[in-house]
């Protein structure tokens, strides 16, 4: 479903991802979060672990709008590089803000990975074409899975992982690569391994690929009013989910390493949510009004909340409001969740104000009529 040049279902899905992100990233207290809104410490899967792959899946879907069937992206190289540089710059800025200490600042990050996979996807599509790109990414996914899970770095050699399927967070090829490339410039809570590290970018490309493929298929089904196409898509999403669960018995679900089971599971959930929003949007469009607002300004929300959350005045505000919610509810976990909802409402109000003034500005820019 699209409005003008925008796909409203995709905006709503992006808005849903932003909504979940705000709940995960802006609790009243990090010590009191409901378990679904905490990332799995290592192996496992929580609702919070869906946020980032959902964003990457949406990146792939969005890229499909600028791609021609003969294999040439419509996007200009200049635009691709500019978008990539903006994302990486903003990500590095957030990692430096507010202390701007270069000694141990984190180099990888969410926006950095989005920028890199966006660049790699568009460049590989342009140079390889669609079929070779699919083969390249899927082959990379399976080679990565074998290399990272079945072998370990062992005294400058490659040794077999005797504890398979278990992996030591500090002794695997992903942590080895991050330690070699970034040193101390990784997220300190998971050092020497970074959740958005270098090697796990390889399987992250497959998440983008699955979003891209559904985007292409959806464009080809624009004029199809039958239920066959969405039912096939829903069926395939269920297959991906079941496949991810099944593969997890061999290779565990792991967001940090972006395991193959994690790829299948999150791609299936992302596809299912998109089709669900497509279906709901045909009969009840009210859900799109508030979700799409977050989706259209997702990058702004990410950067704005990232800056605000690092300010001392925000810490004081959060502590005060959280304590008030605890007093009212007598429940620390509920109070922490209510603070997240409050921040979501604050962001929504700011976006509505911005949209209101944007409409006024466009109204003054648009000529009322032409005279001869």
- Indicate the helix (H) or strand (E) that contains 6: strand 6-7
pLDDT digits (tens, 9 = 90+) for 231-274: 888 889 999 999 999 999 999 999 999 999 999 999 999 999 99
pLDDT at residue number 75: 55
Residue 267 located in a structural domain: yes
Q: Assess whether pLDDT exceeds 50 at residue 69.
A: yes
Q: Assess whether pLDDT exceeds 50 at residue 184.
A: yes
Q: Assess whether pLDDT exceeds 80 at residue 364.
A: no
Q: Ranked by mean pLDDT, which of 18-22, 219-223, 289-293 comes out on top?
A: 18-22
Name all contacts of 264-267 with Cβ < 8 Å and 24+ positions apart: 264/240, 265/45, 265/240, 265/241, 266/49, 266/50, 266/53, 266/54, 266/57, 266/207, 267/53, 267/57, 267/206, 267/207, 267/210, 267/211, 267/240
User: Are residues 308 and 314 in contact, defined by beta-carbon separation less than 8 angstroms?
Assistant: yes
- CA atoms of 305 and 106, how far apart (whole Å): 18
Q: Which of 151-155, 212-216, 241-245 has the lowest mean pLDDT?
A: 151-155
Residue 56 located in a structural domain: yes
Domain that holds residue 152: 2-14+52-304
Q: What is the DSSP string of 149-202?
A: HHEEEETTEEEE-TTTT--BTTBSHHHHHHHHHHTT-S-GGGTTS-TT-STTHH
- Looking at every residue in the chain, the average pLDDT score rounds to 88
Q: Which of 180-189, 307-316, 321-330 has the lowest mean pLDDT?
A: 180-189
Q: Assess whether pLDDT exceeds 50 at residue 187.
A: yes
Both tokens assigned to 200: 């796990």
Q: What are phi and psi of 57, to 5 degrees?
A: -60, -40
- Indicate the helix (H) or strand (E) that contains 3: strand 2-3
Stretch 24-45: mean pLDDT: 94
Residue 247 located in a structural domain: yes
pLDDT at residue number 289: 78
Q: What is the 3-state secondary structure (H, E, C) of 207-224?
A: HHHHHHHHHHHHHHCCCC
Residue 4: band (very low, low, confident or very high) from pLDDT cuts 50, 70, 90: very low
Residue 231 located in a structural domain: yes
Residue 163: band (very low, low, confident or very high) from pLDDT cuts 50, 70, 90: confident
Residue 158: band (very low, low, confident or very high) from pLDDT cuts 50, 70, 90: confident
pLDDT digits (tens, 9 = 90+) for 286-321: 767 788 889 999 999 999 999 999 999 999 999 999
Residue 6 located in a structural domain: yes
Residue 243 located in a structural domain: yes
Residue 211 located in a structural domain: yes
Task: Quote the pTM value.
Answer: 0.91
Measured CA to CA in angstroms, residue 127 lies from 63, 71, 73, 210, 249 at distances of 15, 9, 10, 19, 36
Residue 39 located in a structural domain: no
CA atoms within 13 A on the CB side of 24: 19
pLDDT at residue number 287: 67
pLDDT at residue number 5: 44
Total structural domains in the chain? 1
pLDDT digits (tens, 9 = 90+) for 93-125: 999 998 888 887 899 999 999 999 999 999 998
From the list 338, 197, 360, 218, the residue with the least C-alpha distance to 279 is 218
- CA atoms of 124 and 116, how far apart (whole Å): 12
């Amino acid at each position: 479903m699209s409005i003008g040049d925008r796909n409203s279902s995709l905006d709503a899905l992006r808005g849903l991802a932003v909504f979940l992100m705000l709940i995960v990233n802006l609790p009243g207290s990090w010590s009191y979060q409901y378990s679904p809104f905490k990332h799995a410490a290592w192996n496992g899967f929580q609702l919070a672990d869906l946020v980032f792959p959902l964003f990457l899946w949406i990146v792939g879907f969005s890229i499909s709008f600028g791609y021609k069937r003969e294999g040439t992206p419509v996007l200009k190289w200049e635009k691709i590089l500019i978008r990539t540089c903006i994302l990486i710059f903003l990500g590095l800025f957030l990692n430096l803000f507010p202390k701007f200490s270069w000694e141990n600042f984190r180099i990888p990050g969410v926006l950095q990975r989005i920028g890199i996979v966006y660049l790699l996807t568009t460049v590989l599509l342009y140079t390889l074409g669609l079929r070779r790109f699919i083969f390249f990414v899927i082959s990379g996914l399976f080679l990565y899975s074998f290399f990272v899970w079945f072998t370990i770095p062992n005294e400058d050699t490659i040794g077999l992982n005797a504890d398979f399927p278990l992996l030591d967070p500090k002794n695997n090829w992903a942590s080895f690569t991050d330690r070699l490339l970034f040193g101390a410039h990784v997220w300190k809570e998971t050092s020497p391994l970074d959740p958005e590290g270098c090697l796990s970018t390889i399987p992250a490309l497959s998440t983008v690929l699955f979003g891209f493929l559904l985007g292409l298929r959806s464009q080809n089904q624009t004029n199809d009013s039958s239920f066959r196409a969405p039912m096939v898509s829903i069926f395939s999403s269920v297959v991906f989910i079941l496949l991810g669960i099944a593969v997890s018995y061999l290779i565990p679900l792991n967001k940090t390493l972006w395991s193959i089971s994690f790829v299948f599971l999150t791609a299936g959930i992302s596809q299912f949510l998109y089709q669900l929003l497509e279906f709901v949007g045909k009969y009840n469009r009210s859900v799109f009004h508030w979700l799409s607002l977050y989706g259209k300004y997702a990058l702004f929300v990410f950067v704005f909340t990232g800056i605000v959350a690092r300010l001392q005045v925000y810490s004081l505000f959060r502590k005060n409001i959280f304590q008030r919610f605890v007093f009212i509810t007598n429940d620390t976990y509920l109070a922490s969740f209510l603070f997240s909802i409050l921040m979501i409402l604050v962001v929504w109000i700011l976006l509505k104000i911005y949209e209101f003034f944007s409409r006024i500005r466009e109204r003054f820019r648009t000529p009322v009529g032409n005279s001869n």
